[in-house]
Structure 1
């Protein structure tokens, strides 16, 4: 598993995060895909050795080039993708793994997924973006009105009844 053994404890100086894709696949032709038993074993073993293990949404990881962030195109070769911007042929799984690494790094550094790996509307905007720059723009207007009235009521009560500090 690690270094060709059943596993070695992670040293304190090692900065390692193990990431597992959360997609579930069903084999159409050929042998059935592995169920969660191996994955469960692997996660338990890695965590017992002190490694951080987390899951990642694989959305768009095999659709965008990790170098230039452009969409890639299928080729006639099995599992190969062509980036017309970089003029590079990618093996699909290698490209997806590089994009997952970038996603995890972005989560660790910026607490969000890279924009090029997030879903967009047809007009190029992101579903969670709003024209309003208000931090409460994601809250429905009825809730904002209720919170505003509750806040003004609390302020009124504080003005009427001084608080001893």
Structure 2
């Protein structure tokens, strides 16, 4: 079975690498210290602090494996790869909401670094999918739970 590649911008790659470094160094050390302290309480069979620390250790180790896997299969989108003629992953797209006559911008990113609060939308989201491959002047109609929303593409740029 082919593995799904994780598409990341350089910024997203750096964030994942920093998260991994934090988990491997700081978080592991904190959890080891909590386990050591919890063991000093005596009988670990009925030690809630010990159980909680071991559960957190297992979760953290799982997260480390997950991030390492993502980094192994990541495809990093370089600024040179970003096309400003058509919407592509990594591009910043300025659009006009046709219904409300408002302008907004989206950065199209891979699903692992999507953050709607920072205007970063996934290439797999309904809006991201609709925008991909379109050009300035195109109008896209996106099906959303409440109906449809139309955007006119005003500008495509690199960050």
Taking structure 2 as the reference length, the TM-score comes to 0.25
Greater Rg by CA: 1
**Larger relative strand fraction:** 2
Taking structure 1 as the reference length, the TM-score comes to 0.25
